[in-house]
Structure 1
Amino acid sequence: MKRTAVLKKLKQAAKAAGKDFSLTELTNHTGVTVGQTRSTLGRHSEIDDVTARKFFDQYAKELGKGWWRK
């Protein structure tokens, strides 16, 4: 999955849920905050599907369980 697609999907889900979404560029990663949950995503053009799923799982508290499947 492309990195831009991962971020776009997360941003759309945050907007639909009424949560704040922000990106912070760090040294080698991008900090992503949705509501009160913060995580980092590497700056690779292609994100492995397993990695993307684990990244999405970190936001289940904010967006609901399995939100990326909808």
Structure 2
Amino acid sequence: MSEIVLPLDPALRAALDDLADAQGRAPEDVALDAVRGCLRQETGRVRAVAEGLARRHADLLRRLGE
């Protein structure tokens, strides 16, 4: 697994530490879950927009593929 460094301001780091402590988890695990959730949500949103564009412009895309 590769690593990434995230610069967190003191308030954000304190909030992360507090949440991790409340959940009995490591701050790194809480942050990893947050990144996964964000990626899932954004991937779904981008997919929905792309599918909408493809439906709206299906005729143009078909003609470009000819």
Q: TM-score, normalised by structure 1?
A: 0.30
Q: Larger RCO: Structure 1 or Structure 2 (Cα < 8 Å, ≥ 6 residues apart)? A: 1
Larger helix percent: 2
Larger Rg: 2
More strand by share: 1
